[in-house]
Chain A
């Protein structure tokens, strides 16, 4: 197990290095620089600024320095917000995004799995059809439209939840719902089909022939096996929640990392873009590792220690 995790950590480092490098060079290739703006800066001042931030150095020097700084977990200063470093931005924005993300993942998994199980147990009955109609809606409506819907009905018309901002738990509900709707629908469909497949297995008939009640069969034999594809989906789920948060945080005016990220892109705030990208990559890589470990725990046929090479 320890050996397996060690190996995985090494692969993660390599992936991370590739991501950092790619971001660095794509950044250079993009037209414009952080000091391009409506009003033209005098050339001397621009040269001064470039020198101050090291932008006048050859690319390999900049690249090397950047790698070194990342190793020291220092993402450098923000080009646009003079007083703040990228680390400040992350430690300020991330707790908001993290809470929102966790809430969305929880909603997506809890409601999605529940809908899927009900649909499978009531296969081809009205419960099944209802759940699947909800799921199709959830998948086909993009999260930003869902967000506006939720704001319009639940906040403006009925006043159950606040429209926007971030001032307590009630403020988190709508953005989390908007963020969760698509993955929730996807998980519902995934759970349903995997559950139907499991229920058709011989060992379910064995369980029934032992005299177990259908409740016990569902809980002890069916759900655990049906959860395997859902666990696999947790990696992509984290990614989709992350990207979804960029838009949702903007719509609800939340002071999260996603919102900062979007702003920094339109500002060409190099250090912020790169810092946040690297940070998000680490987050994703870690969550994928966790998913794989969880998978190994749920399914005893998968040996983490030696078996599965690479990946």
Chain B
């Protein structure tokens, strides 16, 4: 399959009064055409910063890309100027934000906010753009779009606003859509509708999606692959099956164990991961997760673990996969879901640095 996006060893930091916050510390992943990659992780793990950097939306300064490459269609985005970015944003890559209540301009008609994209990127006249905006509203499932197109955001419900945001994001048929917790602010039934809508439109338009969430439950429904982020790094990445049925990283175990599901309903305890993420101004020596990890080995406090490869698609960054590491089993509730996957290699393989 055609690779649309390759992020290589991306590093982003913010200059603050307290020092330099290393929000993203060497993130690498790629994305194929029409594929959905979910990025999960706790608050502050760098999900939003990673994804906004792909569009160069982080405020610079204080933000700064301190290393790495973002190849979009083989073309590195990092050195591009603001002017060049304007032709990529909204046209090639677009974004849906978390809170539909605040991400639309309250004093501009919803239709006009869609039309802006069409006028900018499709060279449409006002009339054409308005017609297309109405069609787009219909496409995202808003009833009576002719009436809605001239209304203001406060006349829309939360779910409808997020639909309008999707219409804006998809107006110019981008190749990549980044959805940053698009359903977190919505109630559960609306969440499901929005997810269905996104999947439906993705199939129609063959868009690739980066779907950010801290809710693993949503991931299984929407994603092809999952990247688990912790303290500015991807600690485990694999297909949905690999992450759900054969997780290897203790942090992923923690996330799975803390996920309410039908199987581990009342009997098994919902285990919250103890402690808090490390301060990214001074990332700890060794593994960033060591202090919160009940399985931590001595080496974890000394040296950062390398990436191990478990299958063609499955990677995990933990010392536990080292041949010399002791055999460690995940917690009870995770243990129950483990299956033997035929695609796995004989043994985890160490990934050479600078892959």
Contact = CB atoms under 8 A, between A and B. Distances in A.
Given A202-B103, A211-B89, A221 B120 contact: no
Contacts, number: 76
Given A205-B57, A210-B90, A299 B95 contact: no
Interface in B84-113: 85-91, 94-95, 97, 99, 102-108, 113
Interface residues of B, number: 32
Contacts of A7: none
Contacts of A220: 108, 116
Given A209-B95, A210-B116, A212-B116, A203 B105 contact: yes
B107 to A, nearest CB: 6
B331 to A, nearest CB: 38
12 contacts: A205-B57, A206-B168, A209-B95, A209-B169, A210-B89, A210-B117, A211-B90, A211-B121, A220-B116, A225-B106, A300-B106, A301-B152
B324 to A, nearest CB: 47
B179 to A, nearest CB: 12
A298 B107 contact: yes
A207 B97 CA distance: 12
A28 interface: no
Given A201-B102, A206-B168, A221-B108, A211 B152 contact: no
Contacts of A202: 97, 99, 102-103
A203 B104 contact: yes
Interface string A198-231: 0001110111111111100000110011000000
Contacts of A301: 106-107, 152, 154
Most buried by B among A207, A214, A298: A207
A298 B107 CA distance: 7
Interface in B51-110: 55, 57, 82-83, 85-91, 94-95, 97, 99, 102-108
Given A210-B120, A211-B117, A220-B108, A205 B103 contact: yes
Contacts of B103: 202-203, 205-206
Nearest to A228: B107
A77 to B, nearest CB: 51
B218 to A, nearest CB: 21
Interface residues of A, number: 21
B38 interface: no
B165 interface: yes
Interface in B26-55: 55
B86 A213 contact: yes
Contact of B105 (A211, A213, A225): A225
Interface in A168-218: 201-203, 205-214
Interface in A276-300: 298-300
B86 A203 contact: no
Given A203-B103, A300-B106, 7 more contacts: A206-B95, A206-B104, A208-B57, A211-B85, A211-B87, A221-B108, A300-B152
Interface in B104-151: 104-108, 113, 116-117, 120-121
Contacts of B94: 209-210
A216 to B, nearest CB: 8
A213 to B, nearest CB: 6
A209 B168 CA distance: 10
Contacts of B83: 213
A299 B153 CA distance: 12
Nearest to A206: B103
Contact of A207 (B87, B91, B105): B105
B107 A224 contact: yes
Q: Which 7 A-B pairs have the closest CB atoms?
A: A211-B90, A211-B89, A210-B90, A202-B102, A203-B105, A300-B152, A202-B103
Contacts of B107: 224-225, 298-301
B44 to A, nearest CB: 18
B74 to A, nearest CB: 21
B120 A212 contact: yes
Nearest to B98: A202
B108 A211 contact: no
A301 B102 CA distance: 14
A308 to B, nearest CB: 15
A168 B285 CA distance: 77
B90 A209 contact: yes
A160 B95 CA distance: 56
Nearest to A301: B154
